[in-house]
Every structure is written in structure tokens, then in C-alpha cells.
Chains A and B, each alone.
Chain A
Amino acid sequence: MNIPRRQFDTLIIGAGGGGLRAALQLSQADAHVAVVSKVFPTRSHTVAAQGGVNAALANVRPDSWHWHMFDTVKGSDYLGDQDAIEYMCRAAPKAVYELEHFGVPFSRLDNGTIYQRQFGGQSMHFGGEQAARTCAAADRTGHAILHSLYQQNIRAKTHFFDEYFAIDLLHNAEGSILGALVLNIATGEKLVIEARTTLLATGGAGQIFRTNTNALINTGDGMAMALRAGIPLQDMEFFQFHPTGIAGKGMLLSEGARGEGGYLVNADGERFMERYAPHARDLASRDVVSRAIVTEVREGRGCGPNKDHVLLKLDHLDSALIRKRLPAIRDTVLTFAGVDLCDTPAPVFPTAHYTMGGIPTNRFGEVVAPIEHGPEERIPGLYAAGECACVSVHGSNRLGGNSLLDIIVFGRAAGNQIIEYLGENRYHQTLDDDCLEPALQRLARWEQPGEGESVDGLRRELTQTMEDHCGVFRTAEVLNEGVDKMLGLQQRMVDVRLRDHSQVFNTARIEALELENLMDVAVATMLSAQQREESRGAHSRIDFPERDDVNWLRHSLYHKASNSVDYKPVRTKPLTVDSFPPKPRSY
């Protein structure tokens, strides 16, 4: 076979915050690293993160990593793994100081330290008063972090393959991951990247839902690659709906807006969150606020001619504060809703936002799966970090500001673990041409000529099905129908044809490959949701309204080959402190 090959110590797929943080750790340790990204690195979706990154710096109010840990465990509705959560919350301050050293232009307090704002689900003293834990660069924190990480990687001379699309992981018969087959989008040429270690950092899959806050590139590619390599996906039923997307459109208005003093009102002008969360009100956890908004609208108290949204009000705040702390959000609302937040409230509705589930890993970023001896065996050579991974620190509901933290803490941890592995495994294993076959076939399939269904048509049906059948509130009936529909759509994949078979920058081919990924991830999500018969975090079943710790305090694992879900226990034991046992969750 005459496909060119390149060899690296480490292949990182994805140049968002997770991939770039790992790359930096490795480049600084003189490892030979290749970073592959389907878009130029600073166009990765991390750039869109607004509100900030959590760390108990205590710059504004007293704080401790242990309180942060409590909030995260409670926010996860006790499904998060407490060893990983302890690790993340302890590591947070150092990870944020490092970002500052890399050049991130954090907003500042009068004493020159990093500005921190209030975010949902944060408390002092294990459930007491509101904390201020979210470190922010105005409302462009993701942009600031992503650009600074890219810049430091330029400095460290990391090797980038920009606008290369990863098709599939390559593995030998023993199951070791040996790199990936990638496609140079500009030329249509294939390339085999051989690597002793491969890190998936491909981000989330928000595009499985019609209305979402995500970039068009967030198609769950890495998750689907893992599925096709025989690795299950964990906790996929837990998809976060952010309470405040611009109604009908989806652009996100960060929780920072409520953190700075904004609040929600219904058609009666009532500040309705006071009824749902008397203590935390508008800064209750995201799942709680999203359910409240949907309930208000269902019960006829929605705003607008169709009574289909609520309003996010900031006009009572000083407009200078809005301009200083929330400039990008004000711009977004001006552009997409045509109103100025300084004097007019914005129409908002819960919008698909964040993939809590993903590729199962331990707290070192190593991918783990049930193979022969127990549920958490390592897949040699494979790592995952960021939104595509499930460590699991977010459990069934992620707290705002914890994802940017997740990507930098576990990006770094994976980098360190890889450095160790490289030290112990000095040689490349041979990669036979046979190992390329499945990935090549996957590509070749799109060369079939003829008329068939269109990529765009099937994608629209997929996203509509997910929206109709896997939303904020779920029932067996709606989910059963959803599963049937999704399986029907999946079967129709074989009839989809590309019309454009050109080589040079063929974006249609990329969208076709992305559709395959969306399909696998959407089926995993719908099926996992159908199976879980309880309400926990973001997964709300009207027919099973209570959390059921006896039967369901466990992680789900969706397997593609058998199209089925099995389960593994939650790691309820932290590293050093006492466990937080499940408690009723109120805000």
C-alpha cells in the first residue's frame, strides 16, 4: 500500500483546550508530538467558552478546594467519580495559575489578582452561601485560554497538522492503539500517523441536537472513533441543556450573566426561580434551572406571542458593568436577538450544550474499558481528555466553569501519564497494512456513485429526532419511539451518497464522515436514555421522577457491536478525604 506514513511519539487528535494543554506538556518534555485538527487550532470550540474556569483561589470570597469538591459531587447528582473530582479540584488553583503564566489575559481585581465571578451551583462551607469561584477573562475566557495555549505551543514548537481530519484509530490484533488514519482536507490525500500513544481530545457532540449552543464541527468524532474501535461510551444519557440559549437560535448566554446579577422572569414578570430554588434562585444548578424554564412554558407562563420562552433580565444592572464584564454576550444578543441587554431583556430557552458522557477514562487520562478482567482495563496506547472523555467529574450534571477546568487539568494529567508511558515503551510496534483496512473501507464507501439520500437530509432528521425524543423531560413512550426512529435512520445510512467526489478541500466528504459519527453518538445517547429508569441530574424521566440510588447509582456503558448498555460502579471513594454520600439535592 502506498499511503505515506509519519511516525511520532504521540498523536493528539484535537486542538481545543484539552489537546493543546496536553501537547504543551509533552512538547516541553521534548516528546515528538503531532497535533491533528480538522480546523485551524484557534477555531476549535473552546474559543466560544464565555464565563470562566473554576478554581478555589479565594480572591473574592473565602474558598477551598474541598468546598469546590463538594459542589461538584452534589452537582453531579452523586454520579461523578469522587477520586477524579478530588484530583481536579485540588489541582485547579495550580492549573489556573499556570494559564496565567502562559499569558491568559484574566480580568483583574483592584489588588491585581485574578477576577472571579459567581456561577451556578457554587457554595462556601459545603452548601452554605454563594461562592465566587469562576476565574474570568471578561466573557471571553475560552478565547483567551485557547489562544494562549496555542501561542505557547508555537513557542514550544509543537508539530501541527492543521485541517487534517482523523478517520479512525488504528489498532493491531492485540488491541493496542498505534495511531490513526487521517485525511489532508486541502488535498484529499491520506496519511497514516503512527504513534506509540494517541490522545483523543475531539470535544463534544452538541450537533446531535437541532438547536444547540455548539459549533458546527462538534460532531462527536472521537467518541464515534472509540466506539468503532470496540470501546464503549459512558453515561451518554446525560446531556446538558443550558438554561439560557437565545430562544429558537441557540447562541449561548453564559451563566456569567446571572452571576453578575441577571435573573429570569416569566410572562407575569415573576422571578420564578424563587419558587424552584428558594436559596440559590437563578444560580441553582443548570439541570434545575432548565427544568424550571420548561415547566413555566408548559404551564402557560412563557413570554412572546407564542409563549415559548422566558426572559433573561439585566437591564436593572449598571450598563457600565455589562459593558465591562459581559461585552461579548451583549454583542451576541445585539446581533442575534436585535436587542441591547443594557435596556431590554433577552428571550431565552434551554438549549443542548454539553456532552457529560464520553470515552471512559481514569484520572490519568488513560482509556479504560471492560475487556476480560473487570470494567476498567487500560487500552494500551490510548488516552482521552476533555469533553470527548468521561473521567467522570461531571457525573449526570456539569457545573458551569468545570469544563474548562476539566480540559486543562486532565489535558495536563494525560500529558504527564503519556510521558511516563513513553519512557517505559521506547519502540513503535509494527503496524501492518491489514490494520488500515477498516478505516480505508470507511473512506472508500463514500466513493460509491449514484443518487441516494443526501447527507444533509438525513442529518436534519437525526437532529430533529433527538430534539423531539431526548429533550429536557423524557418518558418511556417518547424514548421508545425515539430509539425506533434512530435505528431506522441508522439503517438508511447505507443509502446515503455523496455527489461530490472531488479531492481538493471537499467539505461535503467531511460532512458525510461527520454524519456517520453523529449517528453512532446519537444512537448511544438515545439508547442509554431509554435504559435508565430514574431521574438524575440532566436525565429527567417523568415516569420515574425520583433518583434511585439503590438500582441506578452506576455508570452506563454503551457498546456499539451489541447495540446494548451495561453498567459499572461509581467510584465513591475519594483519594484522601471522606466520601460525600448521596443526599437529597436542593438548591
Chain B
Amino acid sequence: MKFSIYRFNPETDAAPYMQDFELSDDRLNEDMMLLDALLLLKAEDETLGFRRSCGEGVCGSDGMNINGRNGLACITPLLGLGSSVTINPMPGLPVVRDLIVDMEQFYKQYRGVRPYLINKDPEPEVEHLQSPAQRDRLDGLYECILCGCCTTSCPSFWWNPDKFLGPAALLQSWRFLADSRDQATDERLANLDGPFKLFRCHTIMNCVEICPKGLNPTRAIGNIKELMVKRSL
């Protein structure tokens, strides 16, 4: 199997380039993931840079652009990739080295939505009560692993990385708006007001199509917009 991988080390390379690698079929088997192949390649050429940790799609470290599509290497089966695969860093963020991008802009957006529960009541002795139906509203929201696959495939983010908050951050914004225990709805909505932070989303749906955890940021964004309209009436 052939691999064409984006390489760039700012210390030594004037410009990025694509490097070809190959793994013979006898070293591969049908249940390998792309991350397994990258680890084999790294064992041979230790200069190849990429992030990885859990190896099972829960930590969000290894988002990359695989044959033109963002995904997590550790849960992308080699089998579905054909005989050659092209791997690039996630688009729209500065490259630090090889497949490693600088995620700071992405994290800043996340912090920008105040991603924490705000409850102003005196703390109860026990848990806040929440009905199963209220809790069900958080499903499909809290599971986000902050991999960045969605935001870095969103055209609105590419065009306005510093103004539009992007799908991942907005999904988290809705995660707290949707939580029956949170009491900062007004502040949260006020914080999203204006033409850019939220309203740059043009429902292009790349994010939904790409999310490796099957989450739906577009729906969350729609829900926030709807809530804004309701509140302003």
C-alpha cells in the first residue's frame, strides 16, 4: 500500500512537500487502522510527526485529512482507503510540523463559549435533580472529543477563523444551553450575538458529514438560532 504524506519541518524545509512511503502487503492485515500503519512508518522514519494517544477514537488527538476528508487515523480502517492514501494536516490551521497543526485558534473558540456549567443557586447537599428526558437532551452534545475535524472542514471557519466560532465550539455552547442545570442562558445568547460568532454558519453541513463521533453541530447551531428568536419575541 502506498502513502503520500505531507511533510514540513520549519527548521529544515523551505516549503512543505509530499513524501511517498510504502508498506508491503505482508506487513498489513485487514483489521488494521490507519494509525497502525503510521506507527509502522514512524518506526522506520522517526522524523515523521503526528499526534496520537488513546488509539480508540476517544481522545481526539489524531485528526488529519485522509484522502481529502478529515478523520481520526485510529478509527479509520485501512481497508476502506484503497491501494494509495494521501494524508494532509487538517486544513485551515497553521502547520507546526508534518501532520501536527497548531490548535490554539480552535481552543480559543472553545474557551470563548464559556464551556462550563453555570448555576447560581446555593450548592445543594446532594445532586441537582435532572429527569431522564432532560438528561437525554445532552446526548449527542457532551460526547465531543475536541478533535477539530468539523471546524477545520468548515468553509465559514476557513474564511473567518478569528470571528466565526466554528461548529465544535457552537456545539458546546448548545450543550450548556440545553442543560436543565445551567442558568446562564441570557449571557450565553448575548455572547453569541452579532453577525459573525454564530451567524456565519451557512448550513453547509460539512461538519455533520465529517464528525467521527456522529455528532450534529448544524442541528445544535439551528437550535441556538431558534432559541435566540424565541427569546427576542
Residues of A within 8 A of B (CB): 39-40, 42-45, 47-48, 96-97, 100-103, 105-114, 137-138, 140, 143-144, 147-148, 151-152, 154-155, 186, 215-217, 249, 251, 328, 331-332, 335-336, 338, 454-457, 498-500, 502-508, 511
Q: 1/0 per residue B48-65: CB within 8 Å of A?
A: 011111111111110000
B12 and A215 within 8 A (CB)? no
Q: Least Cβ distance of B169 to chain A in Å?
A: 12
A-B contact pairs, 14 of them (CB 8 A): A42-B60, A48-B59, A97-B126, A100-B127, A108-B132, A114-B127, A138-B139, A140-B143, A148-B116, A152-B116, A335-B75, A335-B77, A505-B100, A507-B49
Interface residues in B49-105 by Cβ distance below 8 A to A read 49-61, 75, 77, 96-98, 100, 102-103
CB neighbours (8 Å) of B179 from chain A are 103, 105
In the complex, chain A residues whose CB is within 8 Å of the CB of B125:
97
- How long is the Cα–Cα vector from A43 to B11 in the complex, in angstroms? 27
Tell me, in angstroms, the Cα distance from A108 to B179 when the chains sit together: 13
Interface: B232 (CB within 8 A): no
Interface centre among A108, A140, A454, A498 (most CB of B within 10 A): A108
Q: Does B130 sit within 8 A of A, measured CB to CB?
A: yes
Task: Name the contact of B46 in the complex, choosing from A97, A217, A500 (C-beta under 8 A).
Answer: A500
Q: Tell me which of B42, B46, B146 contacts A42 (CB under 8 A).
A: B146
Tell me if B31 and A336 are in contact (CB < 8 A).
Answer: yes
**In the complex, A331→B143 CA distance in Å?**
13
- Distance in angstroms from B78 CB to nearest chain A CB is 13
Q: How far is the CA of A504 from the CA of B100 in the complex (A)?
A: 11
- Whole-angstrom CA separation of A143 from B12 in the bound complex: 38
Contact pick for A103, options B50, B117, B131, CB 8 Å? B117
Closest to B110 in A: A154
Mask, B121-148, CB within 8 Å of A = 1, is 0011111111110110011001101100
Nearest-CB residue, chain B, relative to A93: B126
- B56 CB → nearest A CB, Å: 5
A502 touching B47 in the complex, CB below 8 Å, given contacts A48-B58, A111-B129: yes
Contact present for A500 and B43 (CB under 8 Å): no
A108 touches B135 (CB 8 A): yes
Chain A residues contacting B47 (CB-CB under 8 Å) are 499-500, 502, 508
Across-interface contacts of B138 in A (CB, < 8 A): 105
- Please tell me if the beta carbons of A154 and B111 are within 8 angstroms of each other in the complex: yes
Q: Complex Cα distance A336/B11, Å?
A: 38
Instruction: Check A101/B135 contact, CB under 8 A, given A43-B53, A48-B58.
Output: no
Given the interface pairs A43-B61, A336-B56, the reply to whether A107 lies near B146 with Cβ below 8 Å is no
In the complex the two chains form, what is the Cα distance from A74 to B49 in whole Å? 46
Beyond A110-B131, A112-B131, A332-B57, 16 additional contacts (C-beta under 8 Å) are A43-B61, A108-B134, A109-B132, A112-B130, A113-B129, A143-B58, A154-B111, A155-B114, A215-B55, A456-B46, A503-B11, A506-B49, A507-B50, A508-B46, A508-B47, A511-B46
Q: Known: A47-B59, A143-B58, A504-B9. Contact between A338 and B117, CB under 8 A?
A: no
Q: Which residues of B contact A251 (CB under 8 A)?
A: 55-56
Q: Are A454 and B10 in contact (CB under 8 A)?
A: no
Bound Cα distance A140, B142 (Å): 10
| Given A110-B132, A154-B111, A456-B46, CB of A335 within 8 Å of CB of B117 | no
Q: What residue of chain B has the Cβ atom nearest to residue A107's Cβ?
A: B135
Name the CB-closest residue of A to B181.
Answer: A103
Would B57 and A108 count as touching, CB distance under 8 A? no
CB distance from A533 to the nearest CB of B (A): 36
Separation in Å of the A497 CB from the closest CB of chain B? Answer: 10
Residues of B within 8 A of A (CB): 9-12, 31, 42-43, 46-47, 49-61, 75, 77, 96-98, 100, 102-103, 107, 111, 114-117, 119, 123-132, 134-135, 138-139, 142-143, 145-146, 176, 179, 181
| Interchain nearest-CB distance for A306 vs B (Å) | 15
Most buried by B among A43, A140, A454: A43
Complex: how many Å from CA A505 to CA B55?
Answer: 20
A454 touches B56 (CB 8 A): no
Is B61 a contact of A151 with CB atoms below 8 Å?
Answer: no
The chain A residue with its CB closest to the CB of B131 is A112
* A101 and B111 contact, Cβ closer than 8 Å, known pairs A151-B116, A456-B46: no
The distance from the CB of B129 to the nearest CB of chain A, in whole angstroms, is 3
- The residues of B that contact A454 with a CB separation of less than 8 Å are 43, 46
The residue in B31, B49, B117 that gathers the most chain A C-beta atoms within 10 A of its C-beta is B117
Task: Establish whether residues B58 and A47, one from each chain, have CB atoms under 8 Å apart when the complex forms.
Answer: yes
Residues of A within 8 A of B102 (CB): 186
Cβ contact within 8 Å between A43 and B56: no
The answer to whether B55 and A216 touch across the interface, beta carbons within 8 angstroms, is yes
Complex interface: chain A residues within 8 A of B59 (CB): 39, 42-45, 47-48, 215
Q: State whether B145 touches A47 (Cβ < 8 A).
A: yes
- Name the one of B98, B115, B131, B145 contacting A143, with C-beta atoms under 8 angstroms: B145
Taking CB atoms, residues of chain B closer than 8 Å to A155 are 114, 116
B residues within 8 A CB of A215? 53-55, 59
A106→B139 CA distance, assembly (Å):
11
Complex alpha-carbon distance, A533 and B93, angstroms: 56
Are B11 and A504 closer than 8 Å at their CB atoms?
yes
Q: Please, which residues of chain B bring their CB within 8 A of the CB of A105?
A: 135, 138, 142, 179
Chain B min CB distance to A110 (Å): 6
Please report the C-alpha to C-alpha distance between residue A385 and residue B93 in the assembled complex, in whole angstroms: 36
Residues of A within 8 A of B58 (CB): 47-48, 140, 143, 328
Q: Residue on B with the closest CB to A149?
A: B116
**Please, how many angstroms separate the alpha-carbon atoms of A338 and B29 in the complex?**
14
Q: Once bound together, how far apart are the Cα atoms of A504 and B49, in whole Å?
A: 10
| In-complex Cβ contact of B131 among A108, A249, A499, A502 (8 A) | A108
Q: Is the beta-carbon distance between B46 and A499 smaller than 8 angstroms?
A: yes
Quick one: which of A140, A151, A216 contacts B53, CB cutoff 8 A?
A: A216
Q: Collect the chain B residues with CB atoms within 8 Å of residue A45's CB.
A: 53-54, 59
Residues of B within 8 A of A338 (CB): 31
Point out the residue from A106, A138, A144, A504 that lies within 8 Å of B10, measured CB to CB.
A504
Residues of chain B within 8 A of A336, CB atoms compared:
31, 56
A101 touches B123 (CB 8 A): yes
A110 CA to B179 CA, complexed, in Å: 17
Contact of A43 with B60 in the complex, beta carbons under 8 Å? yes
Give CA–CA (A100, B124) in the complex, Å.
Answer: 11
A47 to B114, CA, bound (A): 20
* Closest CB pairs A-B (n = 5): A103-B117, A112-B129, A151-B116, A508-B46, A43-B59
Chain A residue nearest in CB terms to B40: A456
The residue among A101, A251, A455 with the most chain B CB atoms within 10 A of its own CB is A101
Whether B61 lies near A39 (C-beta < 8 A) is yes
Asked whether A148 lies within 8 Å of B61 as measured between CB atoms, the reply is no
